[in-house]
Each structure stands twice: as structure tokens, then as C-alpha cells.
């Protein structure tokens, strides 16, 4: 079983819609969760991090964490074509320096 | 601040050659990391460092070596290049490992080095 599971996509949504990206993880010791955005040919950049169960909002982005069910999601409201990218989910265990990355979900926002 | 810089941007190596990928950060970050990303995949940690003089292996260290003589620099050495090392290499840095609830562990990535081994 992969440590971090993400649907590879592409997830295609129309401009202005809500994009929902999901990620499940296998390690119950995970403490910190991250969403990175990666444009084609570019390096990852942090979108959101979340530590506690529940929702965390930052502008058009909302991260949702459910530790009991071992999933974390990212909602993008009012999706824009510029949001088209691959979104990488990652987690870190409290005792480790290591980030475990998923393979990413490719998002395509249609104008 | 330039952030995290990497050189070269692209390199072609022949099998058995060696090279050093350079990484420098100007944010005075304690923690530095080397990842590789194969096509369509996530990032795999090769090596990391928690400060000058201290390095440790990540998930995929075989075929690589690192050193950290200064806070700013964290070069990655490839000895005896193999086709399996064809990948994009990213260097990253963070202020600290982070206590839950803090943002200090945000990792900032360099632009990457694309390596092709033929």
C-alpha cells in the first residue's frame, strides 16, 4: 500500500467551479499535512499546511483534515485557468524530518 | 533574497561519469533537503541536513553523497552515473523541522536540475 494516495487525474473543472482534491495516507502517526502546487516544469510551492482536524481557509483555498479517516483534502473555490497545475499532497510524522509525498493530482480548469 | 538556487539547470551525463549538483540558500535556514522527482511521480528524499556538518540519508540515498560545510551550501554528488539516475533534482530548505502549529517547517524549493544519463 502506498503511503500517500492521490488520484492522478486529470481533474477537469470549468472556470468558476469548486475543485476538490483528495488525499489519503496510511500512517496514523502523521502530524503535519501539506498541499503543494507544481506547474509543469517548475518546482513545488506551498499552498496550505494543516495540523488540526477540521478546516483551514486561506483565500480561495480550504484544506480539510480528518485524522480518524486518514484523509486530507483541498478545495479551490472560484477555480481559475491559472490554477491548472499538479497538486501534491505530503505529510510529516512528528518524529521525522521527512516529508512523504503523493504522486500528485493534475487539475485542469477549462475557460 | 534569491531564496534557493541550483546549478546547473540541465545536464547530460554519460554512464559512469560523476558530477556535483550545487544548491545554495540565502535565508539562513538550518534544514536542507535533496529530492528527486521522476516523471509523473512525487518527490523522493535523497539526503537531508539539519545543520552544518550534519547530514543523514533519506529514502533513496544509494548512488549519491552530500556534504554540508556551511549553512548556505548543500551540494549533491553523483558518483558513477547510471540511467536510473535520470530525473529532476530539487533542493529545498526550511527554517526548522517545525512544531505542530508553526510555519517554520515550510520547505522552499529551488528551480531544479534536470539530469539525463545516457
Look over chain B and give the mean of its residue pLDDT values, rounded to a whole number.
91
The secondary structure of chain B as a DSSP string is: ---EEEE-SEEEE-TT--EEEEEEE-S--SEEEEEEE-TT--EEEEEEEEETTEEEE-S--TTEEE--SSSSB--EEE-S--GGG-EEEEEEEES-S--TT-STT--EE---EEEEE-
Lowest mean pLDDT across A46-60, B31-45, B58-72, B92-106: B92-106
B40 touches chain A (CB under 8 A): yes
Q: Can you give the pLDDT at residue B103? A: 59
Where chain A has pLDDT below 50, the residues are none
pLDDT in tens, B9-19: 999 999 999 99
Q: Can you give the pLDDT at residue B111? A: 96
Q: Are B57 and A98 in contact (CB under 8 A)?
A: no
Is residue B4's pLDDT more than 90? yes
Task: Give the side-chain half-sphere CA count within 13 A for B57.
Answer: 7
Which has the closest alpha carbon to A48: A67, A64, A66, A63? A63
CA distance A98 to B58: 7
Q: Can you give the pLDDT at residue A1? A: 55
Q: Mutate which of B29, B32, B43, B104 to disrupt the A interface (most A C-beta within 10 Å)?
A: B43
Q: Are A44 and A90 in contact (CB under 8 A)?
A: no
Measure A94 CA to nearest chain B CA, in Å: 8
Measured in residues, chain A has a length of 111
In this prediction, what percent of chain B has a pLDDT beyond 70? Answer: 93
Q: What is the dihedral of CA A35, A39, A45, A49, to 10 degrees?
A: -10
pLDDT band at B72 (very low <50, low <70, confident <90, very high): very high
CA distance B95 to A33: 17
Cβ under 8 Å to A: B residues 2-21: none
A15 touches chain B (CB under 8 A): no
CA distance B8 to B61: 20
CA distance A2 to B93: 25
The mean pLDDT of B101-105, rounded to a whole number, is 60
Q: Mutate which of A97, A98, A102, A106 to disrupt the B interface (most B C-beta within 10 Å)?
A: A97
Nearest to B106 among A46, A101, A102 (CB): A46
Query: Which residues of chain B are within 8 Å of residue A8 when distances are taken between CB atoms?
Result: 40
Amino acid at each position: 500500500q502506498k503511503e500517500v494516495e492521490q488520484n492522478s487525474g486529470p481533474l477537469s473543472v470549468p472556470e468558476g467551479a469548486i475543485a476538490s482534491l483528495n488525499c489519503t495516507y496510511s500512517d496514523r502517526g502523521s502530524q503535519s499535512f501539506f498541499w503543494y502546487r507544481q506547474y509543469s516544469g517548475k518546482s513545488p510551492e506551498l499552498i496550505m499546511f494543516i495540523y488540526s482536524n477540521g478546516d483551514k481557509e486561506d483565500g480561495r483555498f480550504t484544506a480539510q483534515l480528518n485524522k480518524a479517516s486518514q484523509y486530507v483534502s483541498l478545495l479551490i473555490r472560484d477555480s481559475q485557468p491559472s490554477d491548472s497545475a499538479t497538486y501534491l499532497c505530503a505529510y510529516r510524522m512528528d518524529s521525522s524530518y521527512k516529508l512523504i509525498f503523493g504522486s500528485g493530482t493534475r487539475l485542469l480548469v477549462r475557460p | 533574497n534569491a531564496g534557493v538556487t541550483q546549478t546547473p539547470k540541465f545536464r547530460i551525463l554519460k554512464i559512469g561519469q560523476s558530477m556535483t549538483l550545487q544548491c545554495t540558500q540565502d535565508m539562513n535556514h538550518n534544514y536542507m533537503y535533496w529530492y528527486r522527482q521522476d516523471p509523473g511521480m512525487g518527490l523522493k528524499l535523497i539526503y537531508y541536513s539539519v545543520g552544518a556538518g550534519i547530514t543523514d540519508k533519506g529514502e533513496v540515498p544509494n548512488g549519491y553523497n552530500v556534504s554540508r560545510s556551511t549553512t548556505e551550501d548543500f551540494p549533491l554528488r553523483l558518483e558513477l552515473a547510471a540511467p536510473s539516475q535520470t530525473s529532476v533534482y530539487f533542493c529545498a530548505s526550511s527554517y526548522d523541522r517545525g512544531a505542530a502549529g508553526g510555519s517554520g517547517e515550510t520547505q522552499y524549493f529551488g528551480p531544479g536540475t534536470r539530469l539525463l544519463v545516457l
